[in-house]
Structure 1
């Protein structure tokens, strides 16, 4: 079962984010607090949205996805960017990841959004194979660039 996250789910979402970071070998890079997630997901102007995957039998939350809207000038339409998709290891292979992606695809179709996009680490072969099995294709002609930390501050700071 897939359901929309509620404010009461924020502590669990924070835990799942930390589990995902550990899986991606970057646990020490998580800086987000529960309060930041609460504000981003449920504040006055939400910046992101989240869905949870629950086990049909136990009702236990076994995964989540967190996403936000994008806009394509070429298509003239919004899309969804999937920031995080994570299913706990003991629940993998039971269809939860596919159900989360299907929910986002449903939102795209119903809302007239024309893209559902995400990034995957190059070493994550199980996920890459899973995504390809759904018909997703890598965008090999594009390279993602990121400004963060000192580089972002240096570029964004006022000049004397």
Structure 2
């Protein structure tokens, strides 16, 4: 089994992050658009708007990534992170990359004073749900999530 490690992504990782981000978008049935994916990741990094964590194997090959957005919880009156994107390359699945990314996200959030991590996932993504539950995440059965598209 390959050993997976995690680290904060840098500008040197943009191209491999863009490829994975594009594949992540395709997983959610969006058309491939590598240029859009690259620009989106680049903009987030340049604006210091998100935290990107990269999972790599012992040969330095990217296995996956997660993207966290810092925000706040008004009720807790404290900072939190939204774990919005989590993707593991198909060939790296079952190697512990998803688990490593979630644990790295948790450690990063704690180091930065966050009191909670939030995420949403597709109802059909049972493998991910199983991992979240195994790591102590609790599914919200009280609140409904709503969204409204403002621009096409």
TM bracket (short chain)? 0.7 to 0.9
Q: Partner of 2:76 in structure 1?
A: 75
Q: Partner of 2:67 in structure 1?
A: 66
Distance 2:107 2:62 in 1: 21
- Whether 1:32 and 2:27 are equivalent positions in the alignment is no
Q: Partner of 1:157 in structure 2?
A: none
Distance 2:95 2:40 in 1: 31
Deviation string 1:104-130 (CA, Å, 9 cap, x unpaired) is 111222222110111010011111111
Q: Point out which structure has higher relative CO (alpha carbons under 8 A, 6+ apart).
A: 2
Q: Partner of 2:55 in structure 1?
A: 53
Q: Partner of 2:92 in structure 1?
A: 91
What's the CA shift for 1:33? 4.0
SS at match of 1:59: coil
TM-score of the pair, normalised by structure 1: 0.83
Distance 2:78 2:62 in 1: 32
TM-score of the pair, normalised by structure 2: 0.87
Distance 1:143 1:32, change over 3 A: farther
Compute the RMSD of aligned alpha carbons: 1.9
Structure 2 unmatched ranges of 5 or more: none
Q: Partner of 1:136 in structure 2?
A: 137
Distance 2:39 2:92 in 1: 28
Structure 1 unmatched ranges of 5 or more: 154-160
Q: Which structure 2 residues correspond to residues 7-22 of structure 1 after superposition, within 5 A?
A: 7-22=11-26
